[in-house]
Amino acid sequence: MSLATIIKKIDEEAEAQCQELIAQARVEDEQIVTYARVKAQEEAVNILRHAEEELQTVKSKQMATTLLHLRKEKLDNRQRILQEVFTETLRRVAALTPDQRRAIIKTILLSVKEERQGSILPSISDRSLLDQAFLQEINDELAQQGRSLRFTLSERSAEIDQGFIVDFEDFDVNYSVEKVLTGLWEDIKGDVSKRLFEN
């Protein structure tokens, strides 16, 4: 079997894994949205019941104050629900299989914009995922793309729960699971909030 055939097969398998991960992420996204929607509906019922009880007992001059309080309570509950969704997402990512985690790590490393050597400091929990063979596979793919970015494995470990840090000597890039998800969450939180609370 020629090297080109092997590389093609690896590319096809990686593409298939990526498609599978994307499909799984879409399913999980729907599960998370459904979970959050149920929570939001429960909270809406509670807030509405609470609001109706309060509105029946307050005098008209206290109505403005009460409404402001209810709006704040509603916003606080929305924030709490959004935080629960994020926490659940973080839990699900942490529970992915090693192969799924490797596919995500590979995608991240191939998307790094630098064009020089970087040293990877894995978290203690992820050191087994980032071995020399795995990094060589990534370096080979970068070389095929004509890029000068290369990765080496550091003897040191990153002081993070999960994920890794890339050390470029003059600066580090933190790819801890929580940091990456927090960045993604900030990008999509508005859309998630709209989907959950638009009604």
Place of tokens 């403005």: 64
What are 59's two structure tokens?
């005098």
Element (H, E) at 34: helix 3-57
pLDDT recorded at residue 41? 81
Instruction: Quote the pTM value.
Output: 0.57
pLDDT recorded at residue 21? 64
Which residues sit opposite 166 in a β-bridge?
120, 173
Query: Which residue type is seen at 195?
Result: R
- Cα 167 to Cα 155: distance, rounded to the nearest angstrom: 12
HSE toward the beta carbon, residue 75, CA cutoff 13 A: 6
Q: Residues of the chain whose pLDDT is less than 70?
A: 1-4, 6-19, 21-23, 25-27, 29, 33, 40, 55, 57-61, 63, 199
pLDDT recorded at residue 198? 74
